Amino acid sequence: MKLTIVTPEKTIYDGEAISVAVPGTKGAFEVLDNHAPIISSLQSGVITVKTADGVQEFTVRSGFIEVARNSVSICAEE
């Protein structure tokens, strides 16, 4: 799936991902291929991105995630 993570200052990730785990305000959750459409707020925590090349982690203070048609967009504050 396509993943983009942006902050007010820059794009911190733009590429393909196998899964994305995020700290949702109602609880942590993971997004996989063909996930149902969702918009959710994020709380302080770690976004974990699994790719074919390994795992990357990004610490965020807050933000939002939108998932639709195998495309994930995250707007977050570091």
Per-residue pLDDT tens over the stretch 13-50: 999 999 999 999 999 999 999 999 999 999 999 999 99
Per residue in 48-78, pLDDT (tens digit) is: 999 999 999 999 999 999 999 999 999 999 8
CA of 6: how far to CAs of 10, 15, 33, 42, in Å? 6, 12, 20, 13
Report the topology of domain 2-77: ATP Synthase; domain 1 (2.60.15)
Q: Measured between alpha carbons, how far is 23 from 41 in angstroms, rounded to an integer?
A: 9
Q: Measured between alpha carbons, how far is 37 from 52 in angstroms, rounded to an integer?
A: 23
pTM above 0.85, yes or no: yes
